[in-house]
Structure 1
Amino acid sequence: MSSNLKLDQIDRKVLEILQSNAKITNAQLSKEIGLSPAPTLERVKKLEQGGIIKSYHAQLDPAKVGLGVTTFVQISLTGHKKVTTDSFVATVNTIPEIIECHHITGTGDFLLKVISQDISSYQKLMLETINEIEEVANTTTMVIMSTFKDSKILPIP
């Protein structure tokens, strides 16, 4: 869908519900938004085909799958040429422990969210993988002690 797509109240309600419960049946969704199942399914398909709904995921509990340490790592690159940035991003995309990568402003160039089993595995990842990326000039790590909000639900304007 184009960036000038106008979402009506029903579209917004569909998006709100699906963000909270992507496993909801079409029948239940149709009841909650007050439409019959066929037009409800059409709206969902339109939102999917237009790229507003990008995908559906199961949100896992990191600790219960053996991932006990989450960090944010601020990265400064050796330079700011496009080839440097592109090479760095390509490398980052091959490292599964890096679950988010954001190009930022300020004192650093990128902010990574990194998840590891424990401090020892995090240290090994930093020393043997991230710090070895040719374009990395320096890193600053922030270890997450506690998380009080971790919402994946976007506020639909």
Structure 2
Amino acid sequence: MGQRRRLKLDEIDRKILQILQEDGRITNAQLSKDIGLSPAPTLERVKKLEQAGIIQSYHAVVDKEKVGLGVMTFVQVSLISHKKSVIEKFVDKINKIDNIVECYYMTGAADFLLKIVAEDIASYQKLMLEQVSEIEEIEHMQSMVVLSVFKQKRALPIPDDVIEE
């Protein structure tokens, strides 16, 4: 196995990442003003961060409620087995369900944590009964309905030290 190269981020790189996480639509001209560099080296640094895979994508953040998705839940899932084939079948099936917007493989009491959005409780119940509970690889599920969101930070804190490339 090859040795991983490391990309050292300086204060300007970290500031670029902070600004772009808050506003991915900022112009290069404005970004360059905000970080104190001219536009050409600013663009070069952004391209370097993209090529290194540190910046993976740019996307719009959609307000769930304004598009009719008023219910958000987290579902802890325990599988019938920890065999690779069982995990792969489960992941393949949940990837086909659009309302499951996030899936995490976990340690602890459950194997997976799913984040699910739905229009309302009735549509959530229908989704669970007709799709999720029909997945044969699931042994046990526990749902937690989100009542309120008090913090939802999308920007990651960028550490001062080295990040792997």
TM-score normalised to structure 1 length: 0.97
Structure 1 counterpart of 2:11: 9
C-alpha distance after superposition, 1:68-117 (max 9, x if no partner)? 00000000001000111111111111111000000011111000000000
Larger relative contact order (C-alpha < 8 A, sep ≥ 6)?
A: 2
CA RMSD of aligned residues (A): 0.9
Residues in 1 aligned to 2:84 and 2:78: alpha-carbon distance in whole angstroms: 14
2:37 counterpart (35, 38, 52): 35
Structure 2 counterpart of 1:124: 126
Alignment of 1:1-157 (within 5 A): 4-157=6-159
Percent identity at matched positions? 62
Runs of 4+ that moved beyond 3 A? none
Instruction: Report how many aligned residue pairs link the two structures.
Output: 156
Structure 2, unaligned stretches of length 5 or more? 160-165
Read off the aligned partner of 1:150 and give its amino acid letter. Q
Structure 1, unaligned stretches of length 5 or more? none
